Amino acid sequence: MLIRRRSDIAPSEITPVAVWRERRSVVQAALAAGLLGATGVAAAQKQPAARLAGRPSALSTMERPAAYEVVTNYCNFYEFGTEKEDPAQHAPKLLRPRPWQVAVDGEVRRPRNFDIDELLKLAPMEERIYRLRCVEAWSVVVPWVGYPLAELIRRVEPTGNAKYVEFTTLADPKQMPGLQSRVIDWPYVEGLRLDEAMHPLTLLTFGLYGEVLPNQNGAPLRIVVPWKYGFKSAKSLVRIRFVERQPVNSWQKSAPSEYGFYSNVNPSVDHPRWSQASERRLGEGGLFSRRRPTLMFNGYGEQVAALYAGMDLKRLF
């Protein structure tokens, strides 16, 4: 269950900034746990830190966020490589988050192209501490900065035909060496039902830890859908399209027996190659940390279970 807190408690009072930034001890611990590669650590430390403030949100969990270095060095971003250290090694020096435009079109009355700086000013920023659960059976707690995706959706006015929202990420071989791999049919595409996209928990995200998103974490904008597996939270978005029919997301297209459209965190539906009943939390001892039981909807069931009333979530995984 999502634990609510008073909106006037600053995230820094829960996890001090000094803890987030205590690079030497955190990095040494992560290296000892085998989580970070030396090249990835160096890349993340060299990135400039542009501030991006957000007001504390009552939708945050009370759980302690992982260290900044863990979140920015242990990443899934296949456009930069399939190893967890690849994004931190390649993205900081290759991805150019400015200039950047996002096309918002399809079944909307007001389609348009948004400049990233327009989107940054579209609605008040919030800092939300969310759990994110990866399909590979690990989880992490991150203080994200953004605002509800619904703020953007309302402004483009979806038509009555809009039933789903399709997200497309950047696919530029000059910036993204991972595109040489055929593990996915590029560009990376994800999708949500319109009511999922409009849910208050679905965050259009521009930063983390009070800073703009590092390149390896999806700069300059991504979505975060905390009750679904992490691959649903598409990074480096260039298009948001409203459609009538359910889109086929990239992992569903690549391996339909392993990845479905909904991808809700469900401990009773195992991945064909491993159990989803338990998970390891990044930042808690690495590969030797204790496993914890996986929570239905990643612990956000109180907020989102009604979206799936009457659905067979083992068949519609």
Out of 2-11, 103-112, 163-172, 234-243, pick the least confident.
Answer: 2-11
In the chain, the percentage of residues whose pLDDT exceeds 70 is 84
What whole-number distance in Å separates Cα of residue 101 and Cα of residue 238?
Answer: 6
Residue linked to tokens 């989880």: 139
pLDDT tens digits, 31-48: 333 444 333 444 444 445
How many domains does the chain contain in total? 1
Residue 315 forms beta bridges with which residues?
none
Q: What pTM value is reported for the model?
A: 0.86
CA gyration radius for the chain?
18
What is the SS3 string spanning the chain?
Answer: CCCCCCCCCCHHHHCCHHHHHCHHHHHHHHHHCCCCCHHHHHHHHHCCCCECCCEECCCCCCCCCCCHHHHHHCCCCHHHCCCCCHHHHHHHHHCCCCCCEEEEEECECCCEEEEHHHHHCCCCCEEEEEEEEECCCEEEEEEEEEEEHHHHHHHHCECCCCCEEEEEECCCCCCCHHHHCCCCCCCCEEEEEHHHHHCCCCEEEEEECCEECCHHHCCCCEEECCCEEHHHCCCCEEEEEEECCCCCCHHHHHCCCCCCCCCECCCCCCECCECCCEEEECCCCHHHCCCEECCHHHHCHHHHHHHHCCCCCCCCC
pLDDT tens digits, 223-261: 999 999 999 999 999 999 999 999 999 999 999 999 999
What's the distance, CA 154 to chain centroid?
22
Confidence of residue 290 (pLDDT cuts 50, 70, 90): confident
CATH number at residue 132: 3.90.420.10
Confidence of residue 14 (pLDDT cuts 50, 70, 90): very low
Residue 218 has pLDDT above 80, yes or no: yes
Rounded to an integer, the average pLDDT of 112-134 is 98
**Burial of residue 176, with CB atoms counted within 10 A of its CB: 0-12 exposed, 13-18 middle, 19 or more buried:** buried
Establish if 293 belongs to a structural domain: yes
Residue 205 forms beta bridges with which residues?
146, 222
The pLDDT value recorded for residue 65 is 97
Residue 3 has pLDDT above 90, yes or no: no
The pLDDT value recorded for residue 49 is 64
Establish if 50 belongs to a structural domain: yes
**Averaged pLDDT of the chain:** 88
The pLDDT value recorded for residue 93 is 96
Residue 152 has pLDDT above 80, yes or no: yes
Hey, what are 120's tokens? 């940054």
Closest residue by Cα to residue 35 from 80, 77, 78, 88: 88
The pLDDT value recorded for residue 6 is 34
Confidence of residue 129 (pLDDT cuts 50, 70, 90): very high
Residue 278 has pLDDT above 80, yes or no: yes
Residue 1 has pLDDT above 60, yes or no: no
pLDDT tens digits, 166-209: 999 999 999 999 999 999 999 999 999 999 999 999 999 999 99
What whole-number distance in Å separates Cα of residue 258 and Cα of residue 287?
Answer: 24
The pLDDT value recorded for residue 19 is 39
Query: What is the number of other CB atoms lying within 10 angstroms of the CB of residue 4?
Result: 13
Residue 102 has pLDDT above 90, yes or no: yes
Residue 299 has pLDDT above 90, yes or no: yes
Establish if 4 belongs to a structural domain: no
The pLDDT value recorded for residue 204 is 98
Establish if 117 belongs to a structural domain: yes
Establish if 136 belongs to a structural domain: yes
Task: Give the residue with greater pLDDT, 112 vs 32.
Answer: 112
Establish if 204 belongs to a structural domain: yes
The pLDDT value recorded for residue 60 is 98
Establish if 199 belongs to a structural domain: yes
Establish if 210 belongs to a structural domain: yes
pLDDT tens digits, 40-72: 444 444 445 689 999 999 999 999 999 999 999
232, 190 Cβ separation under 8 angstroms: yes
Residue 250 forms beta bridges with which residues?
none
Confidence of residue 285 (pLDDT cuts 50, 70, 90): confident
Range of the domain at 183: 11-308
